[in-house]
Chain A
Amino acid sequence: MIAQFGILLSFLAAGEFIVWLTGINIPSSIIGMLLLTASLKAGIVKPSYVERLSNFLVHNLGFFFVPAGVGVMNCFGLISEQWLPIVAASVGSTVIIIAVSGQVHGFVRRALARKPQIIKSEAEA
């Protein structure tokens, strides 16, 4: 478990290093995640090296957001003044994002699946 923690933290540190080096506008954790995926793919890290801790963290992800959510109490004033646009915009746009990304994904997939047939029928014609 200590080794697993060490590995995840090393990838996070690598992410932090890249951010520091390049001044890039992407969080170190996302870079660390991509580096971990790449290392697993390259075989540098075996899935069993990180599996136990990763599963624990990934399956309890929601809990780690609780303190950040409690921070809402610092913005009560602003929220009580403008609660309607804040709530409506967040809810409305969440529905839109889900519908748009899901539908576009399905649409592009179907369009790509149809393509070989079109080429075939053109050849026949």
Chain B
Amino acid sequence: MEFMTDKFFLLAVTFVFYIGARKLQRATGLVLINPILVSIAAIICFLLLFDIDYSTYHKGGEYIDFWLKPAVVALGLPLYKQLPTIKKQILPLLISELCGCVAGIVSVVAIAKLLGASHEVIMSLAPKAVTTPIAMEVSGAVGGIPALTAAVVVCTGIFGGMAGFKIMRMSRIKSPIAQGLSIGTAAHAVGTSAAMERSERYGAFSSLGLTLNGLLTAMLAPFVLHLIGAI
């Protein structure tokens, strides 16, 4: 049983569950069988079943976490390819990002408060639309729980990636630029990977959305939270 806590074994388990979940999605064609969501759920069940705690799992998992940062740097390439279009639309991009950022923080705080969430949970939710490293940083700075933020960020990303294009159809957002942009704004890198599956162009605007909203949230979140009296 001791072998179960070996970090390479736990790493292999992560890969196997993810590949299995991806195969399952391709075989069924169901959006709901999101490989990220399914593999997270399967790994948690596996860990609970064999009584392995998260810190043990993380000794293997951190080698995958490591790739998050280089992967975000790599988004610089699709972003570069879309520079001409970005230049042409700089004003619409900046204004819509600013509105999306503020609307996101205000709405998440308002809904959570209305439904009776505790102060620290509200603060953990406030930066949930942006990529994990920024969100955890902001969460800690405004008095939230960074671990809860990380979990909510990933779940938000999965939801945005799965339902994003449907929401856009319902709110009649048609231009590929606006679609890519809003999915990146609301669902950071996980949403971007969903956009990337459509095309590189969607992906590039999605990475622009995640970048701009990430920067704006990092700079504005504490200020916005003060302004609406949440802290």
A and B part of one assembly: yes
**A interface residues, Cβ below 8 angstroms from B:** 5, 8-9, 11-12, 15, 25-30, 32-37, 40-41, 47, 50-51, 53-55, 57-75, 78-79, 82, 84-86, 88-106, 108-109, 112
Q: How far, in whole Å, are A34 and B211 apart by their CA atoms in the complex?
A: 9
Verify A9–B186 contact, CB threshold 8 A: no
What chain B residues lie within 8 Å of A15 (beta carbons)? Answer: 73
Q: Shortest beta-carbon distance, A120 to chain B, in Å?
A: 20
Within 75-120 of B, Cβ neighbours of A (below 8 Å) are at: 75-81, 83, 89, 91-93, 95-97, 99-100, 103-104, 107-109, 111-112, 114-118
Binding site secondary structure of chain B: helix
Verify B193–A106 contact, CB threshold 8 A: no
Chain A CB within 8 A of B139 CB: no
Q: How far, in whole Å, are A57 and B72 apart by their CA atoms in the complex?
A: 8
Q: Shortest beta-carbon distance, B157 to chain A, in Å?
A: 7
Verify A66–B36 contact, CB threshold 8 A: yes
A99 with B171: in contact, given A78-B121, A90-B152 (CB under 8 Å)?
Answer: yes
What chain B residues lie within 8 Å of A55 (beta carbons)? Answer: 77
Verify A27–B154 contact, CB threshold 8 A: no
Residue of B nearest to A56 (CB): B74
Verify A67–B57 contact, CB threshold 8 A: yes
Q: How far, in whole Å, are A11 and B73 apart by their CA atoms in the complex?
A: 7
Verify A101–B111 contact, CB threshold 8 A: no
What chain B residues lie within 8 Å of A100 (beta carbons)? Answer: 96, 99-100, 103-104
Verify B173–A109 contact, CB threshold 8 A: no
Verify A71–B150 contact, CB threshold 8 A: yes
Q: How far, in whole Å, are A92 and B106 apart by their CA atoms in the complex?
A: 11
Residue of A nearest to B63 (CB): A67
Q: With contacts A37-B77, A47-B77, A112-B91 known, what are 18 further pairs, Cβ within 8 A?
A: A34-B76, A54-B78, A59-B196, A65-B190, A67-B64, A69-B151, A82-B118, A89-B117, A90-B155, A93-B104, A93-B129, A94-B167, A96-B103, A98-B160, A98-B167, A101-B96, A105-B92, A106-B174
